[in-house]
Amino acid sequence: MTKNLVMKLGEEIKSRFIIDDKKLTIILYNLLHRRSTLLLRAPRGTGKSTLMLLLLKGIYGDDFVVISGASEVKRGEVLGRLHLPSLEKEGVEKVVWASFVQAEGKGLDEVNRLNPYTTANIYHMLQFGEVWAYGKRQKIGDYTLIANENPHDPTTFAHPPPFYDRFDVTVYMRSLTLSEKFALQEKLEKYDGDIVGSMPQVLDPQTLSEIRREVEEVELDVEIKGYINLLVRDFQACIRNREFSDVKPLALCEGCHFIRDVCSSIRVGPSERAAIVLTQLAKAKTWLDGSVSWEDLLEMALYVMPHRITLTKTRNILSDLRELLNREKAKMRDREGRRQWFILNELTKNFNRGLYNRAREIALEDMVFAEELSKLEGRWIKEGKVKPEESVTYNLGIELS
């Protein structure tokens, strides 16, 4: 029953808005976990605000609050203001919390134009689930935050990467093709030009809360968890500790054994949140469709990664990312072919010289495997089973400290 409501929400949006099915599906999956955040990125006039309003209206009816970076957002007003009568009459500082803080449905229009002060307040809310104003704290419960931005607009503030990292997924939107323009005109005629006003409330906060609880309880298969963690680790791993280096790829990659690997294309890797969000999306898909596959995870990564990584050369973030994900597919096939996890599993149980020699060869092909082997080597070196100079740790210069 509740699944049907989620599907119906998608159908109602689809009947009013031109959007790719895959993007809409990801947006729906992303709504199904607590404190859901979505960022819509698009050039001006491509419908990002409309989509934001359609989603909020479909869940919260008219009970949602949108603040806009384009308008004058006064210092602190987004969160709360002082209750002046209390201050004047009683000399007590009371805070009247803004409706944006109290509403479960939150919209942020043109995030890129929010001033740094407001951004910092919202960042704190997303990070700690609380807001501060005039020395007072307010805890925030569950919410849905949908934001949009056009990063190429003038008057854009360059927000820090950790702020964007708090958004679960980013959906890029584009201008409409010829046939899509005709389709939009038909929709506008059908709803008398009032696409948002005609949008019914399909879900309600209580039902959504119940759905989110059910989704949270979904148990993912350990193999799916493995795929998620491998995918994220492949995008993070750097044998030369890129995270702590002032020199970044490609300069850092000079002479590196893994220069042809995915890692050399990534300047800044994703945070651990990428794995958390992928897990949430995988759970949502399992809840809604009954299953999730490796191919689904690759598709989801297209929305989870773009705002979390910086590539060494970016021509078009989505096509560049798609290329990296295709390389990941081949990498996973190679891993299966090498039976490397079987070998690692055997080695974790017992040291075996023959298997170790094979594992050393595999480590030269796969850095993530090399890291795990390196952890075992530390123990074997102490036990005298392996000489330090023959170890992968020594030969590849792995530092996991």
Partner 1 sequence: MEAFQQYLEKVSSKTKVKIEKGRIRWIERYEAIDNIPVDFFDNIYLNKRGDIVVLSKSTAQDIKERISFLEENLYKYQRLTKVLVAACIAELIIILALIGGLL
Which positions lie near partner 1, rule CB under 8 A? 222-223, 225-226, 339, 341-346, 348, 352-355, 358
Minimum CB separation of residue 43 from partner 1 in Å reads 42
* CB-nearer residue toward partner 1: 124 or 338: 338
Calpha distance 270→363 (Å, rounded)? 23
CB 394 within 8 A of CB 388: yes
Minimum CB separation of residue 399 from partner 1 in Å reads 20
CB 339 within 8 A of CB 355: no
* CB-nearer residue toward partner 1: 169 or 359: 359
Specify burial of residue 138 (Cβ count, 10 A radius: 0-12, 13-18, 19+): middle
* CB-nearer residue toward partner 1: 207 or 352: 352
Minimum CB separation of residue 342 from partner 1 in Å reads 4
* CB-nearer residue toward partner 1: 17 or 369: 369
Minimum CB separation of residue 235 from partner 1 in Å reads 18
CB 327 within 8 A of CB 262: yes
CB 252 within 8 A of CB 265: no
In degrees to the nearest 10, what's the CA dihedral of 177, 183, 185, 189? -170
What Rg, from alpha-carbon coordinates, does the chain have?
Answer: 24
Whole-Å CA distances, 139 to 117, 124, 289, 318, 329:
19, 11, 34, 36, 43
Minimum CB separation of residue 380 from partner 1 in Å reads 16
Preceding peptide of 250 cis, ω within 30°:
yes
Instruction: Tell me the helix, strand and coil percentages in the chain, rounded to 5.
Output: 55, 10, 35
Residues in the chain, overall count:
401
Phi/psi at 319 (5° precision): -70, -35
CB 322 within 8 A of CB 302: yes
Minimum CB separation of residue 354 from partner 1 in Å reads 5
Minimum CB separation of residue 352 from partner 1 in Å reads 6
CB 321 within 8 A of CB 306: yes
Minimum CB separation of residue 398 from partner 1 in Å reads 18
* CB-nearer residue toward partner 1: 215 or 343: 343
Which residue type occupies 168? D
Which residue type occupies 108? L
Minimum CB separation of residue 29 from partner 1 in Å reads 23
* CB-nearer residue toward partner 1: 217 or 223: 223
* CB-nearer residue toward partner 1: 109 or 371: 371
Calpha distance 25→20 (Å, rounded)? 9
* CB-nearer residue toward partner 1: 91 or 354: 354
* CB-nearer residue toward partner 1: 134 or 351: 351
DSSP of 348-368 = HHS--HHHHHHHHHHHTT-HH
